Amino acid sequence: MNISEEQLGNQLFKINLSGRMDVEGVGTIETKLSGMTASPRKAIIVDVSGVQFMSSIGLRALLLNAKAVAKRGGKLVLLNPDSNVRSVLASSGIDQLIPICTGLEEAKVKVAS
Amino acid sequence: MPLMLLATVLLAIGGVAAYANAHRLIDVVSPISIFVVMFGFMLANLLIREEMQRKALESDLQLQREQAAKARGEMEAARRIQLGILPDVESQFLRESRLDIAARMEPARLVGGDLYDCFMLDEHRAFFAIGDVCGKGVPASLFMVISKTLCKSLALRDEAAQVDPGALMRRANLEISRDNPEMLFVTAFIGVLDLRTGEVSYCNAGHDRPLVFVPGSAPRELGGARAPAICVAEDFEYRMHRQQLTAGEFLCVFTDGVTEAENLAQEQYGKARLDSVLSGIDPGATARELLDAVCASVHAFAAGREPSDDLTLMVLRWKP
């Protein structure tokens, strides 16, 4: 799995994830991911368009980070999941807790609200 | 270096002995003699050291093997305990003529994070449940045992007629979220089937939707609004839904270890394949035969590939 980050604006960050979010994949990026969502960051867009497979461990990693950000009054949103990942997010009900956005502009709006 | 000294001494003694016994004069200080003797000693030294190293490595390896065997022994005991917790649904319901049921769990590792449960709430109502903890192996299986035990005790606490799967899920969510330091979550489906009427009341927490079907026709999902898995949102208001089964209808409950089983080309087994196995089943098939057919189909598809997730399946057939 690969992870990278970019700063899009004042206090707005975008994290790019790609690869398979299975047990091994999450293991390689989890520390970096929590580092990138750590305080004082409050507006985070996670681009998952490059994620080819999402397991329950992957969901857990996203959930933990989203909850930690929300606890500090911030927001984390997901951007452009592919259709397989989208249906995993939907059937697990995770999409009701973490907003899913199609398109960077929508994500910027959602994360600021 | 003691070796050099020893070599020199031996060379001298050898020279004297050769002269004294065989009247041969060896030039003991010739570089060649010295070289030959030195070489011999160094070789012996090297061989002795290698032997010692080899012995050390072997005993290390032996120790590791013993430790691995011990760990494996413990894991196999854990597996036996976990499989022992699973109800033997076929023998349990042997005498209940209105319900034909079969179930199986195949862990991806020695212990799994999937479980199922089924028991009678009273003489007419059958409670069934399936769950899938995020992750695999020991942490997931421990969490699953806790969840399953809790769910059963909550279900049995109420009057059977009052068991509302939605309320049960809300309570299970609160209880399980309480002691969850690892922040694991569980997808779960619980249902109550009234064997007199064929009505199923159920609640689905982020789990794959079960399929109902009459042999020969396309399976349909047990629907309802999507709800998150347990321990995702502590105060989620889970709701019960209802579905009426027709006589002889099958209900197939499964975890994503079935639909997401991958083959060597990294393709997934998928819903479509499952649907076609189910609808192609013989009308007179038993729940066990259907279960075996699905498992065989998944194994054939994934042939050669180690399973990456636990595979769990439960098949019920209402026969009023």
Rg (Cα) of chain B, in Å, rounded?
A: 34
Task: Say which CATH topology domain A2-112 has.
Answer: Transcription Regulator spoIIAA (3.30.750)
For residue B194, what are the β-bridge partners? B125, B199
pTM score: 0.79
Rounded CA separation B78/B83 (Å): 9
When pLDDT is cut at 50, 70 and 90, the band that residue B249 belongs to is very high
Mutate to test the interface with A, among B114, B134, B231 (most CBs of A within 10 A): B134
Q: Is residue B108 scored above 90 in pLDDT?
A: no
Mean pLDDT of all residues belonging to chain B: 88
C-alpha neighbours within 13 Å on the C-beta side of residue A70: 12
Decide which of B130 and B175 is more confident: B130
Are B136 and A23 spatial neighbours (Cβ–Cβ below 8 Å)?
A: yes
Mutate to test the interface with B, among A30, A56, A83, A86 (most CBs of B within 10 A): A56
Query: Among A104-113, B18-27, B161-170, B194-203, which range has the highest average pLDDT?
Result: B194-203
Instruction: Give per-residue pLDDT as tens, B195-245.
Output: 999 999 999 999 999 999 998 889 999 998 889 998 888 889 999 999 999
Rounded CA separation A31/A36 (Å): 9
- Positive or negative, the CA dihedral B22, B26, B32, B33 is positive
Q: Do B228 and A59 touch (CB under 8 A)?
A: no
Decide which of B39 and A48 is more confident: A48
Which of the 8 DSSP states describes residue B108?
S
Nearest 5°: the CA angle A96, A98, A99 is 85
Rounded CA separation B274/B280 (Å): 10
Whether a cis peptide bond, with omega within 30° of 0, leads into A81 is: no
Instruction: Give per-residue pLDDT as tens, A22-50.
Output: 888 999 999 999 999 998 889 999 999 99
Are B83 and B106 spatial neighbours (Cβ–Cβ below 8 Å)?
A: no
Which contacts of B274-280 are long-range, i.e. CB under 8 A and separated by 24 or more positions?
B274/B211, B274/B219, B275/B211, B275/B218, B275/B219, B278/B211, B278/B213, B278/B219, B278/B250, B278/B252, B279/B213, B279/B215, B279/B216, B279/B217, B279/B218, B279/B219
Predicted ipTM > 0.90:
no
Q: Is residue B73 scored above 90 in pLDDT?
A: no
Q: Is residue B17 scored above 70 in pLDDT?
A: yes
Nearest 5°: the CA angle A40, A43, A48 is 120
The secondary structure of B185-235 as a DSSP string is: -EEEEEEEEETTTTEEEEEEEBPPPPEEE-TTS--EE------PPBTTSTT
Instruction: Give per-residue pLDDT as tens, B84-107.
Output: 888 899 888 999 999 999 999 988
**Which amino acid is it at B260?**
E
Among partner residues A55, A60, A96, which is closest to B228 by beta-carbon distance?
A96
**Beta strands at B99-106 and B311-318: parallel, antiparallel or unpaired:** antiparallel
Q: Do B135 and A91 touch (CB under 8 A)?
A: no
When pLDDT is cut at 50, 70 and 90, the band that residue B1 belongs to is low
Mean pLDDT of all residues belonging to chain A: 91
pLDDT for B208: 92
